[in-house]
Each structure stands twice: as C-alpha cells, then as structure tokens.
Structure 1
Amino acid sequence: MAKNLTLKTLTLALILVLASGLSVFAKEKPEITRHDVQYLDRKISVTVQWQSPNPVVFVRISAGQDQRDIKVDEYDNRRNQDGYSGEVSISLNVDPRLYQDSIPYVIQIEDDIRQKSEVLTGKVKVFTPKEKDDDWGKERLTGPAPAGQPGQQGDIIDKLIGVMERHDTPPTVDKINVALMGGGNVTFSTKAIDDKGLRELTFKVFEANATPAGDQTLTGLGKIWQGTSKTFTLASGTYKVVAQAVDTAGNTSPERSETFTITGGAQPQQAGGLIVSITPQNAITAGGQWRVDGGAWKNSGDNATGLAAGQHTVDFKDITGWTRPAAQTLTIQANQTTTASGAYVEIAQLPQVGTLSVTITPAEAVFASAQWNVDGGAWMNSGDNATNLTGGQHTVNFKDITGWTKPASQTVTIQVNQTTTISGAYTKTSGFLSVAILPQAAIDAGGQWRADNGTWMKSGDNVTLSEGTHTVEFKDAASWVKPAVQTVTIKAGQTSSVSGAYGRLYTIDKDFDEGQMVGVEHQTVKDQLQLSKTSTTLPFIWVPNSNEGTISKVDSRTGAELGRYRTGPGTNGSPSRTTVDLKGNCWVGNRATGTAVKVGLDENGQCVDRNGNGKIDTSTGSQPLAWGDDECVLFEVLLSVGKENTYVPGAYKGPYDSAPGPRGVAIDANNNVWLGTYGTHRFYYVDGSSGRIMKTLDVTSANHGSYGAVVDSAGILWSADIGNRNVLKLNPATGAHNVIRLGHMAYGIGLDKNNHLFVAGWTDNKLSRINTSTGQIEWTKAGESGCRGVAVTNDGDVWVANSFSNTVTRFSNNGDKKASIPGMNHPTGVAVDADGKVWVVNNGDNYIKRIDPATNKIDLSKAVGGSHYGYSDMTGIVARSSTTKLGTWTVLFDSKTDAVKWGSVSWNGPEAQGAVIKVRVRSSNDQKTWSVWEDAVKGSDLKATTGGRYLQAEVTLQVMSGEISPVLNDITVKVKQN
C-alpha cells in the first residue's frame, strides 16, 4: 500500500514552449510566449508568460471541470522595449477518474483595452490511480533484498525509491527583493526552484518585536517559480520578511529573510480572529481542513489571528470519499473572534444522484459564449458539472451563437454516484463578402479594401467570412480621401455586397495645377490657393461692331474671333460699352434702340439649351446666328420709361425707342449690373443671373446723363456726363448722389486699385484724377487730341485712346506722360487683357490692336467686324481687380465611370471678414452636353447635378470688403455609393 502511495506522487510534466524573439511580437494583440502545464495529485499547475503592447489584466484558464479568471496585478507587468512582459501561476483542481489519459485545457489573456490573445489549447497527460491490491507485474519487478533486510527479496521499486530519497535535495529560495511603493505598501519578489516540484512558498512579515504582521502562502508553483507577492500594507516601523519553500516530498528550504523600514506607512490595521469548526469527526480524521483567503491549511478549531477587518473567504480541502463544504464569505470584526463551521458529507451517504460534465469544442466556440444545459435548465459553460442529477436519462441542449452551427441535442444516461462526460462540437458558419469601389479613377489610383485587417483586395473581389459582424476598411491612395470604415453583417450561405466611394482631394500644388487659375496662385504660399497680387481676367475681349448691330468675342492671346452675336433684330442698334462681368459674360448697351443685352461665355458654361436639343446652338466664328436663335444671347432688357421689362431674345417684337440711349454699363461685386441712360437720366439695377430689373434710381434732379460708368471697391457707382462736364457719385445703398464738376468734358472713365478714378476730357484734351475716398480732384493734366477711353495696367499706368491724334498715350499714375504709341485709326477705347497687354479698338476702320507695355509697341492687329465704338471694361479686368478682388480656379474631374452619381463637394480654408469662397459644379458624360451649374453647399449632397463621368468645379475666391484674401486649403469631390 505504501508503495502504491509512493507511485501516486510520481509526476508527469508536459512543457510546451512557444518562444520567439521579441522583435516578432504582435503589434496589436497580447501574445502568450510560454506556458508550463503539469499534473500532480489531482491538481493541474499552470504557469503562463506573456509579451504585450499594453498591460495584461486577465488570464483565463480552463482545465477539466475547473475554470479560473485571474486578475493580474499591475506590478506583475514588467515594462520592456516592446511593451510589457509578465508571468502568473495557478493550480486548478481536477478529478483524474473523469479522463482516460489526458485532460484538455484552454488559455487566453486579455490586456487593459480588452484586446485578447489567440486562444491556446492543449492536453496534459495524467496517471490513473492504481486500483487497490493491483499487483500485476510485481513479480517482474523483484530483485535482491534491500540493504538491512537480509534474506528478503525486495522490489526494484523499493530500490528506486531508496535511491531517490538518498539523492533528494530540498528546494532553494533566492535573495528577497523588497519593493517599497509608498503609503505603507510593499511587495516582495524572489525565485524558488526544486527538482521535483514546489508545493508551496510562504512569505511571513514580522514586526521588530517578532509580532506577525502578515503572511501569504502561494501553492501549485511547478518546479520553478519567479514572481512577486501580494501587496502588504504596513504601518511605519522596522520589519523582517521571511520566505521559505516546501517541495512535493515535504522537504523545506532554508529560510531567506530581509529587514526593511516603512516610513509614512498606513495606520495600524484593525484586525480580528477566525475559528472554523469542521464536522463530522470522521471527516477531520480523513484529513478535512480549512483555510482563509487561500492561505495555509488549518485544522478544525484553529484560530486564524491578525485578519484585517472586512470580508474574507473560507474554503475547505478536498478529501477522498467526502464532499467538501461550499466556500464561505465571512465578515471579520475588529478585535473580535468570528466563528464558522463546515460540514463534510460522506459520499456513501449521498442521494442516488450523479453528475454530468459537458465539454464544448472548439475553444473558439467556447470563447464565443457557447454553452449547454440539461433538461432546459440554466446555461452552463464548457467543463462545468451539472450535479445532483437523478439516475436515468436526461437531455443535453446547446446554445445558439452567431457564426456557429450548434451540436444536435443529446440524450445521456446518468449513473448514480458517477460523473458522466460527453462533448459537443460546434462548427463555424460562413458567407461571402464582395466590395465595390467607386469611382474607377480611385481604383486606378490604388484604392483597395480588406476585411478584419486581412489581405488587401481589389474592387469586386469576394472573400469568405464567418457568419456575424465584420469590419471593412479601405486603403489610402494619394490625392484621395478614402471611405469611412464600415461594419457589415455576414449571413450563412449568402453574399453580402457593400460599396465604398473615394473622394478626389485637391490640396497640394500638383493637384491645383490640374485646374485653370485666373487671378489665383499658389506661389506666395505653397499648397494652397490665394488671390493673386497681379490684376488679371479671363483671356477674352468683347468688341462692339457698332455699325453692324453685333459684338464679337475675341481670344485675347491669339486674336481669333470666337463668336459674333446680334444685339437686336436689325443692324441699327448701335451697340457700344461692352462690359464683362465676373463670370466672363458680356453686357452691352444699344444706344439707338434703348436696350441692354447679355451674352453668355460658352467656354465658362454660361449658355442655355433653350430648344432642348442637347447642345448649345451658338456662333463659333465671324458669322452671327439670327436674332433669337443664338443660345448664348441670354437677355434683352428694354429700358424705355414705362415699358421697362426683360425678354428672351426674339420674344419682344417692338417698337424700340432711342430716347434712353444706355451708355453707362458697370458691374458690381455681386455680379449684378448697373445700366445708366443718357437720355432719360435713370440708373437701372439688374440681376446678373435673371436679367430682372431690381431697382430704378432717377437722377433727373442732378440733370445727369450717363456716358460711361464704373463701380469702385466701396460699392459706389461713378458716372461721367459728357454734356454737363461732371462726374456723378451715387451710393446704391441709399440712392444719395452728388456731382463733381471737372471744368472739362467728361468722357471715358477708369479705375485703379488705389482708390483713383480717371476721367478723360475728349475735345478738351484733358485727363483728371479723382480720389474716390474723398471725392476730391487730385490733378488735371493735358492730354493728346480727342482723349476718350481710359484703362489702367497693373503697374498703375494710365492708358488713354486719342481719337483725333490716332494715338494711345501712356501716363504714370501721377499724370506724367511716359509714351505715345501711334498706328491707330480714330481709336475710341482701350482695355487690359489677362496677360496685362493693352487692346485698342478703332472706330475709323474695323481693326483692333494690341500693345505690349514692355515695348510700347503694337504686337498684334486683327480686322474684326465693322467699326468699333466702345470704351468700357471690355475684358472684365476692372470688375475683377478694382470693383472687387476676385479669382477663380476651375478643374475638370474625370471619374472614369460613366453616369456616376455625384455626392458632395466640401472644402476648407480661412475666410476673413469680407472674404468669401464660393463653389459651383456641373456634370457631363461627354464634355459637350452639360448639366446646369449648381451652387454647392459645403459638405452637403448635390441636388440638381445629374450623373455623368465628368464633374467641372469652379472655385471663386473674392474679397467683398477689406484687403485679406480668402484661402483655399483643399477641396474634395465625392461620388455617391451604390
């Protein structure tokens, strides 16, 4: 019998080492780097080591019927260059009779942000205890009698045991390291080793007078234990800590001790005692014991002293043939001894019942909350025991969990006083996921997707996924904004489809260079757009062909005539004063018919498909279309007093009236137009978008007939009166006006960017400068013969067309004559183009000429239409640079996806007070037929823009007041997801 008991102490250890260099640890999840699992005397000892980017807070271990969640102390996480490493050890109770040759176990760890390691599973082999009087094979293990027993034949086992006992060595304990943590808190760390296995390691703390101050007993430690004790909280004083280990054979190590001092410690703890009585006596005789808070085992009636006031846990020792009492939670009162009792029940006296244990596989299903119940009772975890089941048949059911197919219900027969074991295997269910990426241009730029941090996949690829919820993310691509992360639910056997739409991002110089910049630049500050310091405009000049009743649109860089447009039903309208608005459209006054007409810039999408044939019917050269047929001729505004109205060209049949004689045409900062009449002394304020007359101001009281007009940066309207030799200053907000008398004729009129108004005196051959802020005449200088049209270049120089001397004079801003350029034929007007060159229109012939300010010479002459009587803002540079400060950036985005649905446009950039950023868009499938322009609302879905492969976006930066330019940092164009 003694030999059998000795055999029971032999240990079979299974050590699984999962080692790898720290450089390959997971970047995101904690990882189990090593674990040691051993079986010994109805217990499994488990040691777990880890490496984690974040501190580990839980270690979950399930073995046999026992499952533990171990809370890891923060001091057990040791900081290293790759995060945190640590180790814990625990002992779990098992009954080897429930298993044939091995016991399964599951290990998983969790960090402080709830990230879990991969599930680690395995089995540890066990020795099934030898039945009583089982002497099979004994005769094969006999040999000569042991020493000291002559004449007897001994067992070889006795010899082996004798050798083992002679060579057995006690455990060793390394030096104790004392860690003082402040506030009276202290921990102790050491290392204990034994060749057979450590049964327990005890730390005991004593005051200077040898009074016990606390203790801790650690059990189930394996052959090597290295770690840290619990935290002891002590009052100020000097203490001694003693550590001693005991191995599985009962050998005791030499004591290790260290003396230390606590300063600023905790207040003396209020303590009490606990006495636990065990019944019946037979259970005590059989080895029944108790312990408090996992400490040393104590006998019935022993007194555990020095327990801190508060709650403590009492549990009871397993003994063969008895069912131990349940663990109890007791409250210890200070300076009192609490009593409790526990009653063991002999197994022979139990009712005729049995136990059922169900193991669920695989481990992933266990951690996905797979459970079982018996006869529809409470749900239980894998490895749990259902006790007190009556002998006979019972039904085991399994719980539904997402992503898994549960096992079928099983009928099991329970044997009295036995534990029946069964298992149930879950199987994963799966479905499919397909993700489409939009638009094609994003795919070409490298847009991809992946599920659950898996492999990057292309648009339209399929992946097999388990049933349940999964995360889809998208790959970064240069100059694109990737879609947001999506959550998708996969159903078994089905294909789920989702889509992700990338947004085209324009934010660096390379992106902005894809568009056309007019009056904006990214040189002053890189990777953003701001207004240019240099005056500029669109590359067109609009020239009146006064004797033909038409106007011509001319490319200011090549001189090519791009279109010719009728301004009325006949040729007698005498169009003059062609003035260009902020979007490149041209307003012109017909002096002989009392009307004003607006012609749209087709190159900027300003024309309207009135007949619905899918294209813009318009002139593309020197041949005009019939009146009313050209879809770029947008409005005819009738200005006859009492008959004022706006018509679609061709709709009004007459009669026309020459009395109004509109000659003052000026654009304001809102892109609306002021029309001043020479004969009826009125100013009409007209909506630039609809042509509707919004306001009429009668200046008859000033006897002012407008002959030319401009609007300054403060919004004040200035008008020249040739007959009354004065300039009118009109405040549109209030209607207040006054006249400034020049002392010479007032004909052509022009503005610079420094609050100066220049007025030419025609037959008086004078040029005057007025300060628009004060209304004062600053100087009057002599000019050449027949001073008419006036324009100002970016350097501040003033250019004047001289009809009688057939020249153009260049003055400094202070009125000093710098040059006189000949070669004209009765020139009437001058205008500055997008490149800063000066155009001159002749009324003596059909030529227009261009002067290069760098040489003061004519560098281009073109014959266009008839004679040209005009001297207003023919290129729009005054409106864009002096009336307001405005620039545009226009880009064409090719999605490479036909008929794609457009989502939103969003942009970022500071807008100082008085500065604005406006965005409008239009779409097309072929760049020929376009949707109407839609003003975009930042970040909101477009409403009127139809689907199409291309999207053209125009960004306008404008200073309405002040001097600070708005800035465009970036703009993003998005398509809609399917």
Structure 2
Amino acid sequence: MYRLPSPRPHVLAALLLALPACGDSSEQNTSGSDSGTSQGSVTITATAGSDSDSGASLSGSDSDSSASTTAGTSGGTTADTTAGPGTSDTGTLTDGPKFDVGEMPDVGEQVDCECGNAGFSYIWIANSHESTVTKLNTETMAEEGRYLTRADANGDPSRTSVTISGRAVAVANRNGGVVKIWASEEFCDPDINGQPGVQTSTGMNDVLPWGQDDCVAWYSDMGHQRQRPVAWTAGVLNQISCEYEDEKLWTSGCSGAEDITVHLLDGATGDIEESVTIPGFECGSYGAYGGAVDSQGNFWASSLTIPTSHLARVDFATMEVKLYEAPYAGYGITVDSLDRPWMASWTGNGNVTAMRFDPELEIFELATNFVANSMSGIQEDAEGRMWMNYWTHSAGGVTLRGLTYVDRDTLQVGPPIEITDAEVRGLSIDFDGNVWSTARFANTAYRYNPTTQQLDTYSLLNGPYTYSDMTGWALQTAECGIPQG
C-alpha cells in the first residue's frame, strides 16, 4: 500500500492548541501544472446561477485548438437551511468549536497520526437486483460479506461511500433510504439482534435477515422516491487517539417534480442534522445523480440531464448553495487532490471525454484530444491520472470496452486499455493503486493493475451498479492529498 501522508492542518484535532478548529485552511497538494490549456483542452467560463436556462456553445472545438466561451447565468444562489430530526439546539455546524477555550486542557502525549485508511481495504459494490451490497477484499478478491440495504429488499441500491478510516460504508437506495454498515466485527454491536456475540454475514450465501446482522449500524429513511448520492466527510482526526471523530454524511433525494433536497447526517446515528433545498436543481427522473466532497467537507452534486448538467456546491459550514451549469451532460463525479470537481462525460457527448471545474475561476475545462465516451464513474489515482471507463474511444483499432484516463493537470486523454465486451460503468481506485471497473449486465468486477497490466475478475455479483467512491480512496485523496509511495 502507499505510505500515507501526515494530515493536512485542518484535520488535526483542535484540542492540540485549544484554539478554534482551522477548518478554513486551503493548503493543497500542488504537485504538477494547473494550466489545463495544452492541446486537447477547451476552457468554458460559467458564472453561478440559480435557474439557468442557457447552455454553452464552443468556438474552436477541434482537438488542436483552445477555445473560451461564457456559459451559465448571473446571480448567486443562497438557500435557507432547515434542521432535521435529531438536531439539538446547540452544537450546529456553524457554532464553531465545541469546547471551552478559556483554559488549556490536558491533551496528553501527542502521536504522529497518519491521515486516512486504517490499513485494510475493501470495495463495496451494490447488487442492485437483490437490494444488497457486497464487501469484497481488494487484495484477496474474496467476498467477505453481503448485506441487505433495506427491510423490504426493494431498495435498488447504487452509490456507496466509505469512511476515511475504512471502518464503515454508507449505501444509498435509489428507491429511498441510506444504510450504514461496519467493515469489521470489532466495530459491530453484538446486542442488535439480541443473541450473544456478533452475528454477521460472511459472504454471498450468508445474507442475514433485516435486523439480524449486528454489523448494520443504522438505517435512515428520508421519505424520498429517488435517492442516489452519498458521500462521507472526513471528520476530525484526534491527534491523541488517532481516531476520526464527528464524521458526517451527505446525501440527496427528491420526489416528483420538486427540487432536490441535500441532507447532512450525523454519521454515528443517521439523524438528519441539516437540510437545504436547491432551487433550480429539479428532481426530473433522477435528481442529483452523483456526489463527492472536497478537502473542506463541502458537497458537490451533479445531475444527469441532457444536453447540459447541473453542478451544485453546498458549503459544509454554512449550507450555502451555489449552482452552476456544465456545458455538457455529465455522469460520474469526483473531486481531485487539488479540490477540483470532475465529471465523466455522458455517452451522447460526441466530442468531450471529461469536464474539470475550477472553483476559484468558476470555469469548466474539457478533455478533448481523444474522445472516450461512456456512462462511467471517474477517480484520480496516486499518479494524477483520472481513470474512467469507455464504451467508445476515438483511437483507431479499438474493438472492446475498457479503461482510459485523463491527465489531471494537462487534460490529455490517454490510450484505450481494452478489458471486456461488457458494458462497464463503475470505477474506483483501491489502496494498492489498482483500478476497479464494474459491469452490471455481466455481474462482474474487474481489477486492473496499471503497472503489470494484470487483469483479475470477480463474477458473482448481481446487477453491480455502483460508480461512486466504493473504496474510500477518493475521500482520502481529497482530504489527505496524494500519498507517497
């Protein structure tokens, strides 16, 4: 595995100096160029707006030119927040540090904690057809657990998100509701089902009835008909215990023709702490299609709308909303180690592989030298490559579907890596640098090693339709930066 970096300053426990939490730190990993203006890229300016009806047109769309076009509408979007169930009158996200700074506490001996994963690695893949989620060991390729995601076994789960410690996963049901599951028996509650000891699933043929698995921590039903995005915040790293505390969970849902509502949940209980509705981000047929967090815990959500997609940002501290209009339809979403959201291009976009958004300049930059279209997830690896699946690739001689990548800084699209004739959608990176892809109709997960080009498969899934942060790698990259390895 990669050697994990020390935590960025804002994730250290505030008790070290008994000062307010430094959540506004903007320090980032700045390795590599940030220009994105070389051949094969296009820059599009977008101003934040609440109800944009205008898209974007490109001037100079061929791959050897660079064009600049203005898109979107003027005027920012600010939405009021509402407290949800389980919210107390004190200690909200905007209250500041939750301790008395009048006297220096005894913090004990300081420890050099590492930022990120606890040392084990699983990929959590939703089995949409049976309303379960698989816990697959990324090193051994063995399935070590399979869990129901809703009591009626009709959740149609899809997106999964793993905590930065790797200890738990949250799974969103597309038919509504979110469930949290522990990754190891040591964290499970032996009293959940009333029997002595911990009873939990050990694999695909051992799915316990609802309410009988001691490693299912909680289930939260928000009453939505459509619910897809789910993304953990890192929480706060306590430098004394080296434990992550106060983890929160973002999700979003909607029903009918209403605008989407974004919720911030208490990661320990599943209670809704705060909610905000985003005007102009309509529910449509899907609502928010994907979500990811940046290093400050802010939530980025995208839509699958044609011909252009929404991109929304919800501020972690204030719940303030900004809404942008992307120039093309996006699919999977991630945030890179420089805090820039990326969207993989929808298969119908004829000349764009992926879109990168610069939050400082509020511009979309497009990867266009090769065109790799698919309905895919997207994620950065430790080499600064934004991996995604393709269904078609403009390089000559491509007969199979497979993997490609976009350079994080130059926006250059890499060559095709053919792996299958199946429809590949899910995409995630594990902690050994392997690239994972899932094919829902082939019931298969593919593990590709970019160094050795070895390809391994696991084919006992059931409608694997997950293309979010299935391993926790993306959260660690956004929070901790690129590891040294």
User: Could you state the TM-score of these two structures normalised by the residue count of structure 2?
Assistant: 0.66
Higher gyration radius (CA) = 1
* Cα distance, 1:835–1:854 mapped onto 2, change above 3 Å: same
Secondary structure at the aligned position of 1:844 is classed as coil
Residue of 619, 626, 638 corresponding to 2:209:
626
CA–CA separation in structure 1 for the residues paired with 2:424 and 2:407:
20
Note if 1:519 corresponds to 2:114. no
Note if 1:715 corresponds to 2:291. no
Structure 2 residues without counterparts, runs of 5 or longer: 7-110, 236-246, 393-399
1:537 deviation in Å? 6.6
Deviations, residues 831-883 of structure 1 (Å, cap 9, x unaligned): 1111111111111211111011114x343111132121111000011222213
Q: Is the 8 A contact 1:531 1:886 kept in 2?
A: no
Secondary structure at the aligned position of 1:777 is classed as strand
Residue of 728, 731, 734 corresponding to 2:312:
728
* Cα distance, 1:604–1:748 mapped onto 2, change above 3 Å: farther
1:711 deviation in Å? 1.0
CA–CA separation in structure 2 for the residues paired with 1:761 and 1:536:
33
CA–CA separation in structure 1 for the residues paired with 2:385 and 2:299:
22
Which residue of the partner structure matches residue 231 of structure 2?
666
Q: Is the 8 A contact 2:179 2:219 kept in 1?
A: yes
CA–CA separation in structure 1 for the residues paired with 2:119 and 2:338:
18
Structure 1 residues without counterparts, runs of 5 or longer: 1-515, 522-527, 642-658, 888-978
Secondary structure at the aligned position of 2:384 is classed as coil
* Cα distance, 1:678–1:819 mapped onto 2, change above 3 Å: farther
Note if 1:807 corresponds to 2:402. yes
1:740 deviation in Å? 2.1
Q: Is the 8 A contact 1:589 1:595 kept in 2?
A: yes
Deviations, residues 396-453 of structure 1 (Å, cap 9, x unaligned): xxxxxxxxxxxxxxxxxxxxxxxxxxxxxxxxxxxxxxxxxxxxxxxxxxxxxxxxxx
1:886 deviation in Å? 11
Secondary structure at the aligned position of 1:871 is classed as coil
Which residue of the partner structure matches residue 798 of structure 1?
386
Which residue of the partner structure matches residue 551 of structure 1?
133
Which residue of the partner structure matches residue 438 of structure 2?
841
Note if 1:531 corresponds to 2:114. yes
Residue of 359, 370, 380 corresponding to 1:772:
359
CA–CA separation in structure 2 for the residues paired with 1:711 and 1:815:
21
CA–CA separation in structure 1 for the residues paired with 2:403 and 2:204:
27
Q: Is the 8 A contact 1:755 1:773 kept in 2?
A: no
Note if 1:588 corresponds to 2:171. yes
Which residue of the partner structure matches residue 268 of structure 2?
689
Q: Is the 8 A contact 2:181 2:215 kept in 1?
A: yes
* Cα distance, 1:678–1:842 mapped onto 2, change above 3 Å: farther
CA–CA separation in structure 2 for the residues paired with 1:809 and 1:678:
33
Deviations, residues 217-248 of structure 1 (Å, cap 9, x unaligned): xxxxxxxxxxxxxxxxxxxxxxxxxxxxxxxx
CA–CA separation in structure 1 for the residues paired with 2:434 and 2:186:
22
1:597 deviation in Å? 1.0
CA–CA separation in structure 2 for the residues paired with 1:864 and 1:518:
32
Secondary structure at the aligned position of 1:794 is classed as coil
Which residue of the partner structure matches residue 101 of structure 2?
none
Q: Percent identity?
A: 27
Which residue of the partner structure matches residue 77 of structure 1?
none
Secondary structure at the aligned position of 1:801 is classed as strand
Q: Is the 8 A contact 2:374 2:425 kept in 1?
A: no
* Cα distance, 1:517–1:753 mapped onto 2, change above 3 Å: closer
Note if 1:573 corresponds to 2:155. yes
Matches within 5 A, 1:166-565: 519=4, 529=112, 531=114, 538-565=120-147
User: Partner letter of residue 264 of structure 2?
Assistant: Y
Secondary structure at the aligned position of 2:476 is classed as helix
Mean Cα deviation higher: 775-784 or 785-794: 775-784
1:694 deviation in Å? 0.7
* Cα distance, 1:755–1:732 mapped onto 2, change above 3 Å: closer
User: Partner letter of residue 874 of structure 1?
Assistant: M
Q: Is the 8 A contact 1:744 1:766 kept in 2?
A: no
User: Could you state the TM-score of these two structures normalised by the residue count of structure 1?
Assistant: 0.34
CA–CA separation in structure 1 for the residues paired with 2:204 and 2:414:
37
Q: Is the 8 A contact 2:157 2:173 kept in 1?
A: yes
CA–CA separation in structure 2 for the residues paired with 1:743 and 1:517:
36
CA–CA separation in structure 2 for the residues paired with 1:707 and 1:536:
29
Deviations, residues 706-764 of structure 1 (Å, cap 9, x unaligned): 11011101232111111251211221322322222221112101122122221112122
User: Partner letter of residue 838 of structure 1?
Assistant: V
Matches within 5 A, 1:563-962: 563-584=145-166, 585-592=168-175, 594-603=176-185, 605-623=187-205, 624-640=207-223, 659=225, 661-670=226-235, 671-677=247-253, 679=255, 680=258, 681-703=260-282, 705-723=287-305, 725-763=309-347, 764=349, 766-781=353-368, 783-803=371-391, 806-813=401-408, 814-824=410-420, 825-855=422-452, 857-884=453-480
CA–CA separation in structure 2 for the residues paired with 1:667 and 1:873:
10
* Cα distance, 1:700–1:740 mapped onto 2, change above 3 Å: closer
Which residue of the partner structure matches residue 191 of structure 1?
none
Secondary structure at the aligned position of 2:373 is classed as coil
CA–CA separation in structure 1 for the residues paired with 2:479 and 2:362:
17
User: Partner letter of residue 807 of structure 1?
Assistant: G
CA–CA separation in structure 2 for the residues paired with 1:859 and 1:746:
28
User: Partner letter of residue 622 of structure 1?
Assistant: M
User: Partner letter of residue 471 of structure 2?
Assistant: T
CA–CA separation in structure 2 for the residues paired with 1:791 and 1:625:
32
User: Partner letter of residue 427 of structure 2?
Assistant: V
* Cα distance, 1:858–1:868 mapped onto 2, change above 3 Å: farther
* Cα distance, 1:727–1:858 mapped onto 2, change above 3 Å: farther
CA–CA separation in structure 1 for the residues paired with 2:276 and 2:186:
32
1:703 deviation in Å? 3.2
Q: Is the 8 A contact 1:663 1:678 kept in 2?
A: no
* Cα distance, 1:552–1:580 mapped onto 2, change above 3 Å: same
CA–CA separation in structure 2 for the residues paired with 1:867 and 1:537:
29
Secondary structure at the aligned position of 1:674 is classed as strand
Q: Is the 8 A contact 1:535 1:881 kept in 2?
A: no
CA–CA separation in structure 2 for the residues paired with 1:722 and 1:691:
27
Q: Is the 8 A contact 1:536 1:881 kept in 2?
A: no
* Cα distance, 1:710–1:751 mapped onto 2, change above 3 Å: same
Q: Report 1 or 2 for greater relative contact order, CA contacts < 8 Å, sequence distance ≥ 6.
A: 2
Q: Is the 8 A contact 2:163 2:169 kept in 1?
A: yes
CA–CA separation in structure 1 for the residues paired with 2:3 and 2:209:
33
User: Partner letter of residue 799 of structure 1?
Assistant: W
Q: Is the 8 A contact 1:832 1:839 kept in 2?
A: yes
User: Partner letter of residue 323 of structure 2?
Assistant: V
Which residue of the partner structure matches residue 100 of structure 2?
none
Matches within 5 A, 1:41-56: none
CA–CA separation in structure 2 for the residues paired with 1:610 and 1:823:
43
User: Partner letter of residue 823 of structure 1?
Assistant: I
Secondary structure at the aligned position of 1:841 is classed as strand
Q: Is the 8 A contact 2:136 2:142 kept in 1?
A: yes
User: Partner letter of residue 233 of structure 2?
Assistant: D
1:598 deviation in Å? 0.9
Matches within 5 A, 1:6-45: none
CA–CA separation in structure 2 for the residues paired with 1:844 and 1:858:
22
CA–CA separation in structure 1 for the residues paired with 2:282 and 2:334:
22
Mean Cα deviation higher: 564-573 or 775-784: 775-784
1:795 deviation in Å? 0.8
User: Partner letter of residue 682 of structure 1?
Assistant: T
* Cα distance, 1:733–1:520 mapped onto 2, change above 3 Å: closer
How large is the Cα RMSD of the aligned pairs? 2.7
User: Partner letter of residue 161 of structure 2?
Assistant: T
